[in-house]
Amino acid sequence: MFLQVDRSSLYETVYSQIALALIEGQLQPDDKVRIRALADQLGVSVTPVRDALLRLVKERALEMRGLKDIRVPRMRVDQLQEVRLIRLRLEGLAAQLAASRIDRTSEVMLTRILEENEEARTKGDTVTAVKLNRLFHSKIAEIAGLPVLHDMIENMWLRMGPLIAAVYVSGGRPMIAYHHEILDALRKRDPAAAEAAIQADINATAEILLQSGLLLSNEPATSHAGLKALA
């Protein structure tokens, strides 16, 4: 899953690799993240791994259930609804801007990503399909041309990536169906249609998640007790 990294800029590199594993769904809800095992995989000491995990706990992409128990969290229903609301605004804006700024090169790139996603789904290559699903959204945010907006969207995917991966197969065709509408709107340079299509995609995925049985009820969030003990 993880590649060994250069020892320069270790912290940021380690953080980026773990974050990408979350965004792309290589880690899924309830998966335990072991500091020593990650350090061995990455070829680094435990310190940058520990620091990266602590940052992800603070960002609520991971949760600490005990001093030596860091896991990918299971999202509560109210947390999903909050993230859905934020994604509707952020990714809706990104789609609007992308429709105004997209060029032929970006159009071809998105078309290729969608075609490869369809192919991966047909072949049952879920790992690749999930990565391409996320990449489609990420590239739209890049085309929008606002780096801060892109970073904010990526932060939401830190939380959504594991969940989307967990339901991607059972979710069936709706997991990708709206991508065709999004691409069509971008090709037509229609900001309103692009926003509506990406929001429909986000809502469809949220509804699948609400029916999945993976979400927790709206109980108080798990405490971050023990966080300082690892610092």
> How much is the average pLDDT of 132-150?
97
Least confident stretch, 51-55, 63-67, 204-208: 63-67
- pLDDT band with cut points at 50, 70 and 90 for residue 8: low
What does the pLDDT read at residue 7?
57
- pLDDT band with cut points at 50, 70 and 90 for residue 66: confident
**Beta-strand (E) ranges in the chain?**
32-33, 63-66, 69-71
- pLDDT band with cut points at 50, 70 and 90 for residue 220: low
| Residue 99 · residue 191 · CB < 8 Å | yes
**pLDDT at residue 229 greater than cutoff 50:** no
- pLDDT band with cut points at 50, 70 and 90 for residue 3: low
Amino acid at 63: E
Q: Measure the CA–CA gap between 48 and 187, rounded to whole angstroms.
A: 43
Mean pLDDT of the chain: 91
Q: Name the pTM for this structure.
A: 0.86
3-state secondary structure of 199: helix
